[in-house]
Structure formats: structure tokens, C-alpha cells
Homo-oligomer: A and B are copies of this chain.
Amino acid sequence: MNRLARYLPILDWGKGYGREALTSDMVAAIVVTIMLIPQSLAYAMLAGLPPEVGLYASIFPIMAYALLGTSRTLAVGPVAVLSLMTLTAASAVAPPGSAEFIAAALVLAFLSGVILLALGILKLGLLANLLSHPVVSGFITASGLIIATSQLKSILGIKASGAAMPELLISLFENLGSTNLPTLVIGVASIAFLAWVRKGLKPLLMRFGLPERTADLTARTGPIAAVIVSILAVVAFDLEAKGVKVVGQIPQSLPPFTTPLFDPALWRQLAIPAILLSVIGFVESVSVAQTLAAKKRQRIDPDQELIGLGAANIAASFSGGYPVTGGFARSVVNFDAGARTPAAGAYTAIGIAIAALFLTPLLSSLPIATLAATIIVAVLNLVDLRTPLLIWRYSKADFAAMATTIAVTLVFGVEPGVIAGVLLNLGLFLWRSSRPHAAIVGRVPETEHFRNVKRHKVITDPRIVTIRIDEALTYLNARWLEEFVLEAVAEKPQVKHLVLMCSAVNAIDASAVESLEAINHRLSDGGIRLHLSEVKGPVMDALERSALLEDLTGDVFLSQNAAFSTLLIASEEENSLPPANDVWMARGLI
């Protein structure tokens, strides 16, 4: 792959593009378009935006990603979690649905695009690493619960609002009395139908003789059936007059040209939400893209993905959309329907554009309850109760990070949830890095192996203490090391030699070198020699650039066994050490 193709992947796949790929891509585009129409409308509604915004967000962003993204089958557009995050962030600026709210959503898309692009150009995708699996998983589960709960109002035909569970539930409960029965019937029927489509339609179609893949893809377009049936029901029984809320007139138009408002105060207010939204969107999108790429042994480049997603969001901000990213369900459908290249995405965009131009009048009688049902069935799939159990079993610290993310997200909303999870996870990581595992070891009788004195019957000598350290030595644990070593020899006047067994030490930073120097001199003041054993090659290379090896009162042994044997003999021979030198290593406040 040449340099230019690395930044413009279309040059790579475009040159071999032939009739076969065209056909595959077209078929995939048709299936995805049918699936996307109700989804786009529903997610825009979830974000507190007019339904057409969802369609607009599914046109130019897809094209931008097709040009610059590295995944061949990722389908970009509005997704549930980012819609909720947009709702929360823009609600802080203006009431949902207002012109200022729509403007805020455009600014969010723009900022998020700029952030993603900048991270991509600076190759800082690893910022996303701060979001651990437990935090992301907990966040998505909690978001799914909030989204599903927030949609209950549309199923019941009542008003309710709130960015987190407590307000939402109180608001729903207070308005329960004004439930609209026809709406409830449509909503519940839609949920039941969509849930059955998800589980029962594919086997049924297969029983009718459809091949598995075709059955699967047909089942994926099920929601469009719910849309059609519910529109017909509204028209046939004049349900609008009976209080069933519908989507209403949607403008027949291609995406308008919009410019995100330049307002520094607004930008500052939306900066943190935009960062969170970008990183969450990126993490999920890359995970989907990698999963799909691996199936065909293709590769994706996360830094280039940042650029592709950044361009998609900037495109959204200039074409009346709102924040987008690579969606899981639609990408899987795209892949399964046979998409070969990003051109499938471009065809999907054309499909949605045709829908925006010609099909919107048909959707004016679509009940909002049906869209709410689409969202509920989709997002309940996000709620994952197995992962918390697995994580609880695996690691209590990771579980704590996850549980905190879930709890804070549910109670205080999406932004505090992500931030709390990230900070707690980072804190726990630093805490664990500060307290590495280390053990005083002795020789297993009649072997050359050394094991923890607390766990095994081993041979030790009162004049020699050996400490095995099971972690890289860094500034986070440098002071711990000083304490651990001094503790190990404190009040043991017999000790003459201390050996640090470094078989598991992958790195030593400058702070740790200074601590080793301090340990060396402190031990020397106390009449103890410091030795090292089993130092790895790269670590030894680094230490040779420091003054430690010159100053070391003892030796560096290739193997712990050599260290122990040599020092045993030396201890027998020597009656006393040479006089301790009096160097003051610590330099402090005077």
C-alpha cells in the first residue's frame, strides 16, 4: 500500500472495483437502507431532534467515511447512545426541538469531528485506552436502560423528561394518569412484534424454505413492516383524532447546507460532552470495525479510523445532521448482506437521500409509539447482565469501576457516569501499579528454583535476603520499593547481602533508578551490600546508562542461583564488610 492510499483508502479498493463487487454492494445497500429509514427517524427523535435530521445524518456522513475510513463494511450514522448523549448535552443549552437545540446538535457534531480529526492526525487514538472494557460496557448497559425508560413515555402517550433515572421515573409516574390507550396498544403491539421478529421470524422464514442468510437479512428488515402496518392502522381508524401522536409532516428535501454556529461560549459549554461523545463513539466503532475486518483477515488502522469518523461528523455538521459513528447492528447487516467495499455505504446514502426526497410524505402518519418501540427493542440488546457477573468473578477492582459507571450514569446521567468510571479506573490502576507484588524468596531444596518463603519450604540464610519483584519499577512504585526493602532488613542485624531478583522486571524508569541508588546507599550505611540478579537485557541496557552499576556495592548475577551460591560462600569467608561509606544520597528541603 503506498503512502497516499494509507490516507485515502479509496485508492486502494477503488482500483480493483468491478461488476461483481458492484452487485454485492448494491444488494447490501438496499437491505441497509430499508433497515435505516425507521432507525434514523427513531434515533433523531431520541436525541430530541426533528425526524428528518436522522435521515440527513445518514447521507453525507456515510459518504465522508466511505472516502476516508479503513473499514470496508462499517456503516456510519446515528446511533442510540450518541443520540442520548446529544440529547443530554444540547438540553443544557436549550429545550429539545428548539432552533437553539438543533444548532447545539450541529455544534456538537462539528466539535466532535474536529476532535476526532485532531486525534487522528496527531495519532493520539490511544486516548481511547482510558476507557476500559468494564467502563464502556457498564456505560452502555446504563445508557440502554435510560434510553428504554425514556421511550416509555411515547409508548404510554404521555409527557415525561429527565436525563437520568430518578427524574425520568418520577416524571413518568406523575404523568401515568394521562396514558392514551390507542397509543399504548400500538406501542405494546409494536414491541411484541419487533421482539418476535428478532427471535422468531428467522426460524419461520427458514421453515418456509429460505436459506439461512436470506432469512436472516429478511428478518432484519422486519421493522419496516411494523412501520407500514402502524401507518395503515392510524389512517384506517383515524387514530390521530383519538390522541395518537404521529411523526407529522417531514420536509421533502435533500440535506440542507448548514454551518455550525461559531460561538466561543457555546463551544466551551459543549467541549467536554463533545470529547466524551467522540471517544465513546470511536471506541465502539473501532471495536465493530475490527470484528468485521478480522473475518476477512483485513486490517483497519485506528488512527485513520479517527480521521474517517472525524470527517463523517464534520459532514454531519454541514448537512443538517448530528453526531454519528459506526453502528453495530447496521454494520453487521451490511457485512452479512455481502458488502465488499465502502461503495456500499455510498449507495446506502443515495438510498436514504431518495427516501428523504420521495418517501417522507408517506411517513407523516407514522405513530411515534412505533418508533419508540423500535428503540426499546434495539437498546434492550445493549443491556448486558452477563458481563458484570463475569467481571465480578474475575476482578473486584474492575467490577468496582464498572458498578460505579453504571450507578453514576443511572443516577446522575451520561457525562458524570463516563467521567466517574474513567477516573476510578485510572485511580485503581495507579493504586495497583503502586503496590506491585513482591516476595522474599528462598531456594527450593535440591533445585535451582527460588520460591516465596511464605508459600514453600525453601532454603534461606540469615545473612542473605532475596526479594523477587513482579512488576516494572516505575515512579509509581519507587517509594514502595524503598519501604519494602528497608522493611525487609529492619531489625535484622545479621543481614549482609540483599539480592533483588529482577526476572519479572520489564522496565525501570529514572525514578526507580534513583530509588535503587538510595536503597544501595542506605543499605551500605547499614553495612549491607545490594546485588541484582536475572536482570533482563533491555533493562540492563538502560541501567548501563545510569550511575547505579558503578555505585552498586554488590554484583549483578546472571542467575539467582549463582547469586545465592556465591554469596553463601562469600558470607562464610568474610567476617565483616568493609566500613560503610557515609554518602548522603537524599537531597531535601534545608
Do B297 and A492 have beta carbons less than 8 Å apart?
yes
A284 near B588 (CB under 8 angstroms)?
yes
A547 to B392, CA, bound (A): 12
Whether the Cβ atoms of B586 and A434 lie closer than 8 Å is no
Could you tell me the distance between the alpha carbons of A393 and B432 in the complex, rounded to whole angstroms? 29
Complex interface: chain B residues within 8 A of A487 (CB)? 299
Judge if A20 is at the interface, Cβ distance under 8 Å: no
Q: Is the CB of A384 within 8 A of B587?
A: yes
**Contact of A98 with B by CB under 8 A:** no
A526→B589 contact, CB < 8 A: no
Q: Are B486 and A590 in contact (CB under 8 A)?
A: no
CB contacts (< 8 Å) of A327 on chain B: these are 588-590
How many copies the complex holds: the figure is 2
A490 to B293, CA, bound (A): 9
Which residues on B sit within 8 Å (CB–CB) of A137? 587
Would you call A81 an interface residue if the criterion is a C-beta within 8 Å of the partner chain's C-beta atoms? yes
Instruction: Mark A469-511 against chain B: 1 for CB-CB distance below 8 A, else 0.
Output: 0111011111110110011011111000000000010110111
Given known contacts A286-B479, A475-B425, is B525 in contact with A295 (CB within 8 Å)? Answer: yes
Q: Could you tell me the distance between the alpha carbons of A425 and B137 in the complex, rounded to whole angstroms?
A: 29
Q: Are B546 and A390 in contact (CB under 8 A)?
A: yes
Contacts of A492 in B (CB 8 A): 297
Q: Nearest Cβ distance between residue A551 and chain B, in whole angstroms?
A: 11
Asked if A429 contacts B475 (CB within 8 A), the reply is: yes
List CB contacts (< 8 Å) of A409-438 with chain B: 425, 429-432, 434-437
Q: Is the interface of A mostly helix, strand, loop or mixed?
A: helix
Once the chains are docked, how many angstroms separate the CA of A493 from the CA of B290? 17
Query: In the complex, how many angstroms separate the beta carbon of A287 from the nearest chain B beta carbon?
Result: 5
Q: Are B126 and A588 in contact (CB under 8 A)?
A: no
Report the separation of the CA atoms of residues A298 and B487 in the bound assembly, to the nearest whole angstrom.
Answer: 9
Q: Are B134 and A510 in contact (CB under 8 A)?
A: yes
> Which residues of chain B are near A515, meaning CB under 8 Å?
133
Interface residues of A in 44-93 (CB under 8 A from B): 79-82
Chain B residues, Cβ within 8 Å of A276: none
Q: Is the CB of B506 within 8 A of A470?
A: yes
Contact across chains for B133 and A475 when beta carbons are under 8 A apart: yes
A513-527 vs B, CB cutoff 8 Å, 1 = contact: the mask equals: 111001000110110
Which of A479, A491, A522, A545 is most buried by chain B, counting CB atoms within 10 A of its CB? A479
Within 210-237 of A, Cβ neighbours of B (below 8 Å) are at: none
* Contacts A394-B542, A471-B506 given; does A328 touch B589 at CB 8 Å: yes
By the criterion CB–CB under 8 Å, are B298 and A394 in contact?
no
Asked if A192 is an interface residue, CB under 8 A from chain B, the answer is no
Of A183-191, A345-353, A374-382, the stretch lying at the interface with chain B is: A374-382
Task: For A128, list chain B residues within 8 Å (CB).
Answer: 479
User: CA separation between A522 and B292, bound complex, in Å?
Assistant: 8
For the complex, is A325 an interface residue (Cβ under 8 Å from B)? yes
- Cα of A584 to Cα of B476 in the assembled complex, Å: 38
Q: Across the two chains, which residue of chain B brings its CB closest to A289?
A: B586
Q: Closest approach, in angstroms, between the C-beta of A123 and any C-beta of chain B?
A: 11
User: Which B-chain residue is minimally distant from A398 (CB atoms)?
Assistant: B510
Q: Given A393-B545, A504-B504, A506-B504, verify A129-B480 contact (CB < 8 Å).
A: yes
Contact of A511 with B132 at beta-carbon distance under 8 Å, contacts A437-B506, A471-B506, A538-B437 already known: yes
For the complex, give the distance between the alpha carbons of A425 and B430 in Å. 13
Q: Does A395 contact B (CB under 8 A)?
A: yes
Over the window 388-402 of chain A, the binary record of Cβ atoms lying under 8 Å from chain B Cβ atoms (1 yes, 0 no) is 001101110111000
- With A and B bound together, what is the CA distance between A110 and B80 in angstroms? 50
Q: Please give, as numbers and ranges, the residues of chain B lying within 8 Å of A328 by CB-CB distance.
A: 586-590
Q: How far is the CA of A295 from the CA of B527 in the complex (A)?
A: 9
Determine whether the beta carbon of A126 is less than 8 Å from that of B480.
yes
Contacts of A431 in B (CB 8 A): 126
Return the chain B residue nearest A492 by Cβ.
B297
Instruction: Pick the contact of A297: B296, B491, B506, B538 (CB < 8 A).
Output: B491
* Cross-interface CB contact of A395 among B281, B432, B510, B518, cutoff 8 Å: B510
Contact B294 A486 (CB under 8 A): yes
* Given A129-B477, A515-B133; A291-B510 close (CB under 8 Å): no
Distance from A373 Cβ to chain B, minimum over Cβ atoms (Å): 14
Contact with B along A442-474 (1 / 0, CB 8 A): 000000000000000000000000000011101
Bound-complex Cα distance A109 to B390 (A): 47
Q: Cβ of A399: which chain B residues have Cβ within 8 Å of it?
A: 510
Nearest CB in chain B to that of A585: its residue: B291
From residue A129, how far is it (CB to closest CB) to chain B in Å? 5
Q: Is A130 an interface residue (CB 8 A)?
A: yes
By beta carbon, the residue of chain B nearest A538 is: B437
Q: Which 3 A-B pairs have the closest CB atoms?
A: A328-B588, A294-B522, A132-B475
9 cross-chain CB contacts under 8 A: A126-B435, A288-B589, A295-B526, A328-B586, A382-B590, A393-B545, A393-B546, A398-B510, A471-B507
Instruction: Show the binding face of A for B, using Cβ within 8 Å.
Output: 79-82, 126, 128-130, 132-134, 137, 140, 281, 284-288, 290-291, 293-299, 302, 325-330, 332, 378-379, 381-382, 384, 390-391, 393-395, 397-399, 425, 429-432, 434-437, 470-472, 474-480, 482-483, 486-487, 489-493, 504, 506-507, 509-511, 513-515, 518, 522-523, 525-526, 536, 538, 542, 545-547, 584-590
Further 12 A-B residue pairs, CB within 8 A, beyond A326-B588, A390-B547, A394-B513: A80-B589, A129-B477, A133-B510, A133-B514, A295-B525, A327-B588, A329-B590, A381-B590, A393-B546, A437-B506, A470-B506, A506-B506
